[in-house]
Amino acid sequence: MDLIRIGDKLISMTKIIAVLEEMLSLRQKGLSQAEVAKRFGIDRSFISRIENLGEVRKGKTIALIGFPLKNTAEIEKVAREEGVDFLLLMTDRERWDFVYKKSGIELVNEIMGLIYKVRQHDVVIILGSDQRIKLFRALLDNEVVAIEIGRSPMKEDVYVEPDYLREIIRKIRE
């Protein structure tokens, strides 16, 4: 067990970590600092200080959507290394499976959920066809960075140069 003694107090590191994780989870779900503080009987400023201690970066949040991609694993690796916050990358086969393996209402609900998630980000990078880019621009009020990888209808996976994507992400972060 990870108990430490400070004076006459016996403190569990596991308990502290579990409580901090729960606090941050509630913040991530949209609760305010004041709401979380009230639930745990602490000051709001404590929540703010905890967040500041763990802050890695400030700045624009980025979502990356791309299909049909030949090198999804490479693109995902670059995106994660560069701190992209949300990823939706698919091959041609995966995108058709996504559509055909759901009922109509399931598909609509999932697409609406994805649109909601993507709209939470400041910038959306789209790797897609000319028509998909137009559609995303119409659906999103975010800043959209479009990388056209072909003209509709696209029937084959397209290789996207990972270093080119890395360069774009870094320019967005500047």
Task: List the pLDDT tens digit at each of the 174 positions of the chain.
Answer: 689 999 999 999 999 999 999 999 999 899 999 999 999 999 999 999 998 888 765 678 999 999 999 999 999 999 999 999 999 999 999 999 999 999 999 999 999 999 999 999 999 999 999 999 999 999 998 899 999 999 999 999 999 999 999 999 999 988
Q: How many domains would you assign to the chain?
A: 2
The predicted pLDDT at position 56 comes to 60
Is residue 122 within 8 A of residue 114, CB to CB? The reply is no
Q: Examine the domain organization and report whether 108 and 133 are in the same domain.
A: yes
pLDDT at 58: 64
pTM beyond cutoff 0.85: no
What is the pLDDT, as a whole number, of residue 136? Answer: 93
Domain that holds residue 42: 3-54
Cβ neighbours, 10 Å, residue 59:
11
Same domain, 45 and 97: no
Judge if 28 and 67 occupy the same domain.
Answer: no
CATH number for position 169: 3.40.50
Q: Do residues 104 and 160 both lie within one domain?
A: yes
Do 44 and 115 lie in a common domain?
no
Residue 1 has a pLDDT of: 62
| Tokens matching residue 164 | 């080119």
- Tell me what pLDDT residue 141 has: 85
Do 90 and 121 have their domain in common?
yes
144 and 87 part of one domain: yes
Give pLDDT, residue 111.
94
pLDDT value of residue 112: 95
